[in-house]
C-alpha cells in the first residue's frame, strides 16, 4: 500500500473533514505538499527536499544539537526537570529552525502554528476552532514571507537551498515552496519530540533489566513509532490477500501495529516505506542519539515525579503532555487529569 501507485497519497477523507468547508486556502496548501503528492509531481519536489536536507547539512548540526541538549538538560546541580517541556519539545524545534534558517525569536510562534497544523492533518479531531484556523493562516503567511526573504537574502540553510533549487528547476511558485516549508517545520520536530520523550519514559524509573544495555535508536523507533499511521486512498479496485479494497476507499497503514507485531525480523517502518519514506530520517536519528544520551547521562539517577502520565489527544503523533522527573525517591502524587 505504501509503494504501489494504485494507492494515492492525495488528501481526502483522512484529512480533517471540515477543512474544505472552513478554508479553501488550507486545502490548497495541503494539495501542494510532498506528503500528499503522487507521481510524477512527487519526484520533482522530492529531489528539491533531498538537496535541502542533505547529509552534509544535517551532520553539520551535530555540535549545535549537542549544545542545545546540554543547555536544555539544566545545570549539574539541578534536582528536577520536565523532559517534555524543557527538552523533548523545544530542542527539536530549535534544531529544525536552525536547519531551515528560521529566526530563533520565532520559536514560540512556530510551536503554536506547528501544533495547529498537525492537529488538522491527522483528521481525527472533528472540530476546527477559530484559534486553530487563525494559527494555520498565520503559518501560511509566515512561510510565504520566509520564502521571499530567502530569495532576497539567501543564506547557508535548507530553505535558501530549497528556494534556489526550485527557481533553477522551474515550475514551482512561492505557494508551492511555502506549503512545503510548513510541512518541513512541523514534520521536522513533532515526531522527534514524541520519540525522545517515549525513549526516556521507557528507561527512567523502571526495573533494572529495562535500564540495562546500550541505547539503540532502531529499537526505539520500532517500539515507539512516533508517527503511528499513514493514510492512502485506492484509485481502483485492488485485492490485498483475500480482501478487496474498492476504488475511492480510504485506508490506513498502521505502522505502529506492524512494527510491534511478532512476525519475525524485518526492518521497522517507523519512517514509512517507498517513495514517501521520511526525508528527515537522518536528522531524527542524529537528534535521538545526542539528546537521549545527554538526558540519560545527566539524569541517570532520576525517576518520574508522578505516577500518572497525561498524553496529548493526537493519536497519530503520541507524546506526553509533560514528563517531570526528579532525583531520588519517586513522588507518588498523581498528575491532574
CA angle 222, 281, 325 (to 5 degrees): 60
pLDDT of the residue at 212: 43
In a domain, 50, yes or no: yes
Q: Please state, in angstroms and rounded to a whole number, the distance separating the CA atoms of residues 26 and 179.
A: 9
- Number of structural domains (the chain) is 1
Q: What is the pLDDT of residues 145-191, one digit of tens each?
A: 999 999 999 999 999 999 999 999 999 999 999 999 999 999 999 99
Average pLDDT, the chain: 87
In a domain, 333, yes or no: no
List 80's β-bridge partners, or say none: 326
Instruction: Provide the 10 A C-beta neighbour count for residue 333.
Output: 9
Q: Please state, in angstroms and rounded to a whole number, the distance separating the CA atoms of residues 16 and 187.
A: 17
Instruction: Report whether 190 contacts 118 (CB < 8 A).
Output: yes
pLDDT of the residue at 12: 59
In a domain, 336, yes or no: no
In a domain, 107, yes or no: yes
Q: How confident is the model at residue 306 (pLDDT cuts 50, 70, 90)?
A: confident
- Average pLDDT value for residue range 204-216: 52
Minimum mean pLDDT among 12-26, 72-86, 136-150: which range?
12-26
In a domain, 2, yes or no: no
Q: How confident is the model at residue 206 (pLDDT cuts 50, 70, 90)?
A: very low
**Considering only CA atoms, which of 209, 185, 220, 217 is closest in space to residue 99?**
185
Minimum mean pLDDT among 195-204, 260-269, 272-281, 320-329: which range?
260-269
Please give the residue range of the domain that contains residue 222.
7-327
Model confidence, pTM: 0.89
Rg (CA), the chain: 20
In a domain, 11, yes or no: yes
Q: Is the pLDDT of residue 210 over 50?
A: no
Q: What is the pLDDT of residues 95-134, one digit of tens each?
A: 999 999 999 999 999 999 999 888 887 655 656 678 888 8
Q: How confident is the model at residue 332 (pLDDT cuts 50, 70, 90)?
A: very low
Q: Please state, in angstroms and rounded to a whole number, the distance separating the CA atoms of residues 74 and 218.
A: 27
Instruction: Report whether 235 contacts 214 (CB < 8 A).
Output: no
Q: What is the pLDDT of residues 220-257, one digit of tens each?
A: 898 899 999 988 999 999 998 899 999 999 888 999 99
Q: Which residue has the cell 519526484?
A: 43
In a domain, 332, yes or no: no
Q: Which residues of 258-282 are buried (b: 16+ CB within 10 A; e: fewer)?
A: bbeeeeeeeebbbbbbebbebbbeb
**Considering only CA atoms, which of 183, 181, 177 is closest in space to residue 117?**
183
Q: Tell me, letter by letter, the H, E, C secondary structure of the chain.
A: CCCCCCEECCCCCCCCCCHHHHCHHHHHHHHCCHHHCCCCHHHHHHHHHHHHCCHHHHHCCHHHHHHHHHHHCCCCCCCEEEHHHHHHCHHHHHHHHHHHCCCHHHHHHHHHHHHHHHHHHHCCCCCCCHHHHHHHHHHHHHHHHHHHHHHHCCCCCHHHHHHHHHHHHCCCCHHHHHHHHHHHHHHCCHHHHHHHHHHHHCCCCCCHHHHCCCCCHHHHHHHHCCCCEEEEEECCCEEECCEEECCCCEEEEEHHHHHHCCCCCCCCCCCCCHHHCCCCHHHHHHHHHHHHHHHHHHCCCEEECCCCCCECCCCCCCCECCCEEEECCCCCCCCCC
Q: What percent of the chain has pLDDT over 90?
A: 61
Q: Is the pLDDT of residue 214 over 80?
A: no
CATH of the domain at 116: 1.10.630.10
In a domain, 284, yes or no: yes
Q: How confident is the model at residue 325 (pLDDT cuts 50, 70, 90)?
A: very high
Amino acid at each position: 500500500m505504501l509503494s504501489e501507485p494504485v494507492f494515492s497519497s492525495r488528501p481526502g477523507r483522512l484529512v480533517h473533514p471540515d477543512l474544505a468547508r472552513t478554508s479553501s486556502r488550507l486545502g490548497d496548501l495541503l494539495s501542494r505538499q510532498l506528503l500528499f503528492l503522487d507521481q510524477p509531481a512527487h519526484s520533482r519536489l522530492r529531489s528539491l527536499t533531498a538537496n535541502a536536507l542533505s547529509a552534509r547539512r544535517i551532520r553539520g548540526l551535530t555540535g549545535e544539537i549537542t549544545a542545545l541538549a546540554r543547555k536544555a538538560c539544566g545545570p549539574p546541580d539541578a534536582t528536577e526537570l520536565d523532559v517534555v517541556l524543557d527538552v523533548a519539545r523545544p530542542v527539536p524545534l530549535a534544531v529544525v529552525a536552525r536547519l531551515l534558517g528560521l529566526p530563533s525569536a520565532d520559536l514560540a510562534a512556530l510551536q503554536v502554528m506547528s501544533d495547529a497544523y498537525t492537529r488538522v492533518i491527522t483528521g481525527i479531531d472533528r472540530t476546527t476552532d477559530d484559534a486553530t484556523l487563525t494559527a494555520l493562516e498565520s503559518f501560511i503567511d509566515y512561510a510565504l514571507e520566509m520564502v521571499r526573504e530567502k530569495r532576497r537574502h539567501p543564506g547557508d540553510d535548507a530553505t535558501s537551498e530549497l528556494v534556489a533549487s526550485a527557481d533553477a528547476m522551474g515550475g514551482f511558485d512561492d505557494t508551492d515552496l511555502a506549503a512545503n516549508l510548513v510541512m518541513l517545520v512541523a514534520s521536522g520536530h513533532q515526531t522527534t519530540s514524541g520519540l525522545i520523550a517515549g525513549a526516556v519514559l521507557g528507561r527512567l524509573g523502571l526495573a533494572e533489566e529495562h535500564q540495562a544495555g546500550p541505547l539503540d535508536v532502531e529499537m526505539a523507533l520500532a517500539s515507539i513509532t512516533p508517527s503511528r499511521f499513514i493514510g492512502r486512498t485506492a484509485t481502483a479496485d485492488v485485492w490485498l490477500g483475500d480482501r478487496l479494497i474498492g476504488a475511492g476507499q480510504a485506508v490506513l497503514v498502521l505502522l505502529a501495529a506492524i512494527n510491534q507485531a511478532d512476525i519475525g525480523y524485518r526492518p521497522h517502518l517507523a519512517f514509512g516505506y517507498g517513495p514517501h519514506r521520511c526525508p528527515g530520517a537522518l536528522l531524527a536519528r542524529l537528534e535521538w542519539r545526542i539528546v537521549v544520551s545527554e538526558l540519560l547521562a545527566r539524569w541517570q539517577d532520576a525517576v518520574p515525579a508522578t505516577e500518572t502520565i497525561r498524553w496529548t489527544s493526537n493519536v497519530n503523533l503520541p507524546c506526553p503532555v509533560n514528563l517531570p522527573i526528579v532525583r531520588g525517591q519517586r513522588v507518588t502524587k498523581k498528575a491532574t487529569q
